[in-house]
Chains A and B, each alone.
Chain A
Amino acid sequence: MTFLLALAAGALFAAGIYMILRRSLVKILVGLLLLGYAVNLLLFNSAVLVPGRPPLIPAGQTVPPEISADPLAQALILTAIVISFGVTAFVVVLIRQAYQVVGTDDLNEMRCTDIPCEDSELKDGKEGGA
Chain B
Amino acid sequence: MIVLPILIPLAFGIFSLLAWKAPRLQRGLALAGTSLLTASAVAILLDVRRTGVSALQIGSWPAPYGITLAADGLSSLMLLTAAVIALAAALYGQAGIDPGRVRSGYYPLFHFLLMGVNGAFLTGDIFNLYVWFEVMLMSSFVLIALGGERRNIEGAVKYVILNLLASILFLSAIGLLYNLAGTLNMADLARQLPLLGAPNQITLVAVLFLAAFGIKSAAFPLFFWLPASYHTPPVTITALFSGLLTKVGVYALIRVFTLLFTQDTQYTRTVLLILAGFTMVTGVLGAAAQTDFRRLLSFHIISQIGYPLMGLALFSQSALAASIYFLVHVMLAKTALFLVAGLVESLQGSFDLKKLGGLYSARTGLALLFLLPALSLAGLPPLSGFFAKLALVRAGLEQGQGVIVAVSLAVSLMTLYSMTKVWNEAFWKPAAVPVPRRRLSAWLWAPTLGLVLVSLLIGIFPAPLLELSNQAAALLTNTQPYLEAVIGGMP
Which residues of A approach B to under 8 Å, CB–CB? 20, 25, 28, 32, 35-36, 38-39, 42-43, 45-48, 72-73, 76, 79-80, 83, 86-87, 90-91, 94-95, 97-98, 101-102, 107, 110-114, 116-117, 122, 125
Contacts and interface: CB of A to CB of B under 8 A. Distances in A.
B285 interface: no
B429 to A, nearest CB: 20
B150 A125 contact: yes
Given A87-B138, A97-B148, A113-B232, A32 B154 contact: no
A90 B138 contact: yes
Nearest to A126: B150
Contacts of B168: 32, 35-36, 39
B145 A47 contact: no
A39 B172 contact: yes
Contact of B164 (A38, A87, A97, A116): A87
Q: Among the interface residues B149, B171, B184, B292, which one has the most CB atoms of the partner chain A within 10 A?
A: B171
A90 B142 contact: yes
B151 interface: yes
B153 A32 contact: no
Nearest to B142: A90
Contacts of B151: 112-113, 117
Size category of the binding interface on chain B: 35 or more
Q: Is the interface of A mostly helix, strand, loop or mixed?
A: helix
B228 A91 contact: no
B164 A32 contact: yes
28 contacts: A36-B168, A39-B172, A42-B172, A43-B174, A45-B179, A46-B175, A47-B178, A48-B179, A73-B178, A79-B127, A80-B171, A87-B138, A90-B141, A90-B160, A94-B156, A95-B157, A97-B153, A98-B153, A98-B156, A110-B158, A111-B154, A112-B154, A113-B155, A114-B227, A114-B228, A116-B292, A122-B150, A125-B150
7 closest cross-chain pairs (CB), A and B: A46-B179, A46-B175, A43-B175, A113-B228, A110-B154, A42-B175, A39-B171
A127 to B, nearest CB: 13
A111 B229 CA distance: 11
A34 to B, nearest CB: 10
Interface of B: 127, 131, 134, 138, 141-142, 145, 148-151, 153-158, 160-161, 164-165, 168, 171-172, 174-176, 178-179, 184, 227-229, 231-232, 292, 352
A21 to B, nearest CB: 11
Q: Is the interface of B mostly helix, strand, loop or mixed?
A: helix
A116 B294 CA distance: 12
A102 B161 CA distance: 17
Nearest to A41: B175
Contacts of A48: 179
A75 to B, nearest CB: 9
Contacts of A102: 150, 153-154
Given A46-B175, A101-B150, A113 B145 contact: no
Contacts of A97: 145, 148, 153
A107 B134 CA distance: 24
A25 B178 CA distance: 33
B150 A112 contact: yes
A95 B134 CA distance: 19
A39 to B, nearest CB: 5
A90 to B, nearest CB: 6
A86 B160 CA distance: 13
B148 A101 contact: yes
Contact of B153 (A80, A87, A101, A114): A101
Contacts of B165: 20, 32, 35
Given A25-B157, A32-B161, A87-B138, A46 B150 contact: no
Nearest to B152: A101
A98 B154 contact: yes
Contacts of B232: 113
A128 B244 CA distance: 36
Given A87-B138, A101-B149, A102-B153, A76 B158 contact: no
Given A79-B131, A113-B228, A116-B292, A46 B178 contact: yes
Nearest to A43: B175
A42 B138 contact: no
Given A35-B168, A91-B164, A113 B158 contact: yes
Contacts of B145: 94, 97
Contacts of A38: 172
